[in-house]
Amino acid sequence: MTRRQSEGAKRRSASLRLRVPVSSPSRRGADLIEQAALRYLASRDRTEAQVRGFLSRAGASAPRAKDVIARFFRLGYLNDAVYAQRWAGVRLARRPMGRDRLEAELLAQGLDRATVAKTLDKVYSKQNERDLARSLLSRRIGSGTRRTDAARAGLLRRYGFREEVIEELLNGSQ
Q: Where are the domains of the chain?
A: 3-78, 81-170
- Note the residue count of the chain: 174
DSSP for 41-77?
HHHS---HHHHHHHHHHTT--HHHHHHHHHHHHHHTS
Question: Mind listing the pLDDT tens digit for each residue in 40-61?
Answer: 999 899 999 999 999 999 989 9
Determine the angle formed by the axes of helices 99-108 and 113-126, rounding to 10 degrees: 140
45 burial level (CB within 10 Å; 0-12, 13-18, 19+): middle
Q: Over 80: is that where the pLDDT of 9 sits?
A: no
pLDDT of residue 120: 94
106 burial level (CB within 10 Å; 0-12, 13-18, 19+): buried
- Entry pTM: 0.69
Determine the angle formed by the axes of helices 99-108 and 80-94, rounding to 10 degrees: 130
Q: What is the topology classification, in CATH, of domain 3-78?
A: Arc Repressor Mutant, subunit A (1.10.10)
Q: Assign residue 145 a region (left: φ > 0; alpha: ψ between -120 and 50; beta: otherwise).
A: beta
Residue 102: closest CA among 170, 29, 31, 159: 159
Question: Mind listing the pLDDT tens digit for each residue in 58-100?
Answer: 989 999 999 999 999 999 999 999 999 999 999 988 888 999 9
Calpha distance 47→109 (Å, rounded): 7
